[in-house]
């Protein structure tokens, strides 16, 4: 195809050159006749050729100048658009009429360039939106415990408080401070995980023992609510980052304790499957509506904001869990019925000792 194009191009150039040469050949002949002077045939040929080539160059230059402004306009438009993007204005619109004519729209490099600039602007505006949302969420999560700490500290100043009231206010201040400190801790964890800065230490260890330890730590919480804890843990050796996995068990079990009313039941299972290990937490708690379920792994998402106020969560736990499960090449599923209960299932593939590549199922 390309060879044919080159062939036709060369043929056109030669044809035009021949026409110009012929034209000057006759003009010079005519001039010699009118001027009644004789011209050497070789000089006649050379002068006609030079003039023909000269005319060809002038016309070629004119044609390329006719196209040039359009091309320049186009680059100017793209440069302007990039400058706007650099300043943070992502609402750019490149004028399609400035596009220089091309052979076909898809392969036209100018259109591809404009498309890429549009795509970049769209992606950057999305990142900016997420960033703004994140800042507003963080501010809100900081502001609400601070307001409450300030309010109760002020209340403590007033006279005539009973010891009971005083203790109650102090407890609230303590728990709100804990919430603030947990927020900063979780934000740090999330940032480190999202930037892939956490050095993941894969090592073989007994996951069932680790989960038992987590349950022991949380005992005061499930005891207080008189929950019926059913625990079935197979002896499973996991190759994973112990510290990170601890957060997965901790948050999932803590959630089910938080969102299950008194005397409810929580079932925790750990078992082997053909392709790896499965960890399951089921509760008879408040459940999660379908419209909330799809957002649960988003940062700061809380299904029931008013209830969460008393539970003291920031809505970061599940996004951290998801990140950790992802770095272990696993998956997490939710099954829930509002008012009936929730089940979280974490499936982890078998990982090789040396790295994080799944040895099975890849």
Ligand X SMILES: Nc1ncnc2c1ncn2[C@@H]1O[C@H](COP(=O)(O)OP(=O)(O)OP(=O)(O)O)[C@@H](O)[C@H]1O
- Looking at the chain, the number of H-run helices and the number of E-run strands are 10, 7
Q: List, in sequence order, every residue forming a beta bridge with 204; answer none if it has no partner.
A: 239
Which residues between 145 and 174 bind ligand X (CB under 6 A)? none
Question: Out of Mg ion, ligand X, none, which partner does residue 277 contact, by CB within 5 to 8 A per kind?
Answer: none
Which CB sits closer to Mg ion, 40 or 310?
310
Cβ 342 to ligand X, closest distance in Å? 4
Count of residues touching Mg ion (by CB under 5 A): 3
Q: Say if CB 354 and CB 287 are below 8 A apart.
A: no
Task: Enumerate residues 6+ apart whose C-beta is below 8 A from 79.
Answer: none
Number of other residues whose CB lies within 10 A of the CB of residue 297: 17
Of 224, 217, 269, the closest CA to residue 247 belongs to 217
Question: Out of ligand X, Mg ion, none, which partner does residue 304 contact, by CB within 5 to 8 A per kind?
Answer: ligand X
Question: Out of Mg ion, ligand X, none, which partner does residue 342 contact, by CB within 5 to 8 A per kind?
Answer: ligand X
* Length of the chain, in residues: 362
Element spanning 202, H or E? none
Which CB sits closer to ligand X, 285 or 349?
285
Measured CA to CA, the distance from residue 33 to residue 274 in angstroms comes to 102
Question: Out of Mg ion, ligand X, none, which partner does residue 56 contact, by CB within 5 to 8 A per kind?
Answer: none
Here the tokens at position 188 are 């740090």
Which CB sits closer to ligand X, 113 or 292?
292
Q: Round to the nearest angstrom and report the end-to-end CA distance of the chain.
A: 43
Cβ 203 to ligand X, closest distance in Å? 26
Measured CA to CA, the distance from residue 254 to residue 288 in angstroms comes to 16
Cβ 271 to ligand X, closest distance in Å? 20
Element spanning 346, H or E? strand 341-349
Site string for ligand X, 290-329 (x = CB under 6 A): ------x----xxxx---x----xxxxxx-----------
Site string for ligand X, 269-288 (x = CB under 6 A): --------------x-xxxx
Which CB sits closer to Mg ion, 217 or 273?
217
**Binds Mg ion (CB under 5 A): choice among 145, 264, 317, 349:** 317
What is the layout of strands, in order, in the sheet containing 265-273? Answer: 228-233, 265-273, 276-283, 341-349, 331-337
Cβ 151 to ligand X, closest distance in Å? 22
Distance from CA of residue 111 to its chain's centroid? 26
Q: Which residue's Cβ lies closest to Mg ion?
A: 317
Cβ 154 to Mg ion, closest distance in Å? 30
Which residues between 171 and 190 bind ligand X (CB under 6 A)? 186
**Binds ligand X (CB under 6 A): choice among 99, 255, 280, 284:** 255
Cβ 270 to Mg ion, closest distance in Å? 19
Which CB sits closer to ligand X, 276 or 287?
287
Q: Which long-range contacts (CB under 8 A, 24 or more apart) does 117-121 make?
A: 117/78, 117/81, 117/82, 117/85, 117/92, 118/92, 118/94, 120/85, 121/81, 121/85, 121/90, 121/91, 121/92
**Binds Mg ion (CB under 5 A): choice among 99, 247, 251, 280:** 251
Cβ 321 to Mg ion, closest distance in Å? 8
Task: Enumerate residues 6+ apart whose C-beta is below 8 A from 314.
Answer: 141, 179, 182, 183, 186, 300
DSSP string, 322-338: HHHHHHTT-EEEEEEET
Cβ 166 to Mg ion, closest distance in Å? 30
Q: Say if CB 252 and CB 346 are below 8 A apart.
A: yes
Which residues between 24 and 83 bind ligand X (CB under 6 A)? none
- The answer to whether 255 contacts Mg ion (rule: CB under 5 A) is yes
Element spanning 357, H or E? none
Which CB sits closer to ligand X, 115 or 185?
185
Measured CA to CA, the distance from residue 118 to residue 111 in angstroms comes to 11
Binding site residues, Mg ion, CB under 5 A: 251, 255, 317
Binding site residues, ligand X, CB under 6 A: 186, 251, 255-256, 259, 283, 285-288, 296, 301-304, 308, 313-318, 342
């Amino acid at each position: 195809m390309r060879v044919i194009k080159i062939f036709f191009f060369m043929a056109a150039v030669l044809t035009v050159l021949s026409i110009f040469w012929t034209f000057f050949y006759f003009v010079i002949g005519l001039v010699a006749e009118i001027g009644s002077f004789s011209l050497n045939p070789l000089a006649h040929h050379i002068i006609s050729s030079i003039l023909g080539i000269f005319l060809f160059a002038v016309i070629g230059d004119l044609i390329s100048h006719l196209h040039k402004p359009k091309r320049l306009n186009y680059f100017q438009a793209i440069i302007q658009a990039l400058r706007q993007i650099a300043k943070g204005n992502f609402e750019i619109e490149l004028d399609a009429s400035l596009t220089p004519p091309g052979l076909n729209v898809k392969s036209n490099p100018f259109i591809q360039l404009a498309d890429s600039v549009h795509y970049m602007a769209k992606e950057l505006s999305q990142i900016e939106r997420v960033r703004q949302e994140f800042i507003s969420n963080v501010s809100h999560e900081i502001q609400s415990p601070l307001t409450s700490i300030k309010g109760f500290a002020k209340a403590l100043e007033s006279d005539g408080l009973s010891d009971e009231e005083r203790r109650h206010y102090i407890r609230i201040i303590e728990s709100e401070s804990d919430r603030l400190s947990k927020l900063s801790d979780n934000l740090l964890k999330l940032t480190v995980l999202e930037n892939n800065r956490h050095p993941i230490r894969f090592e073989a260890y007994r996951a069932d023992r680790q989960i038992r330890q987590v349950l022991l730590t949380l005992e005061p919480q499930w005891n207080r609510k008189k929950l019926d804890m059913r625990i079935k843990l197979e002896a499973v050796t996991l190759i994973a980052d112990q510290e990170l996995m601890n957060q997965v068990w901790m948050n999932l079990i803590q959630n089910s304790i938080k969102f299950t009313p008194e005397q409810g039941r929580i079932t925790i299972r750990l078992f082997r499957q053909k392709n790896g290990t499965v960890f399951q937490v089921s509760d008879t708690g408040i459940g999660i509506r379908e419209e909330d379920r799809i957002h649960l792994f988003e940062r700061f998402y809380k299904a029931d904001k008013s209830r969460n106020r008393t539970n003291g969560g920031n809505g970061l736990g599940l996004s951290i869990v998801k990140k950790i499960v992802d770095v272990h090449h696993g998956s997490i599923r939710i099954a829930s019925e509002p008012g009936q209960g929730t089940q979280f299932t974490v499936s982890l593939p078998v990982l090789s000792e040396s790295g994080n590549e799944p040895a099975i199922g890849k």
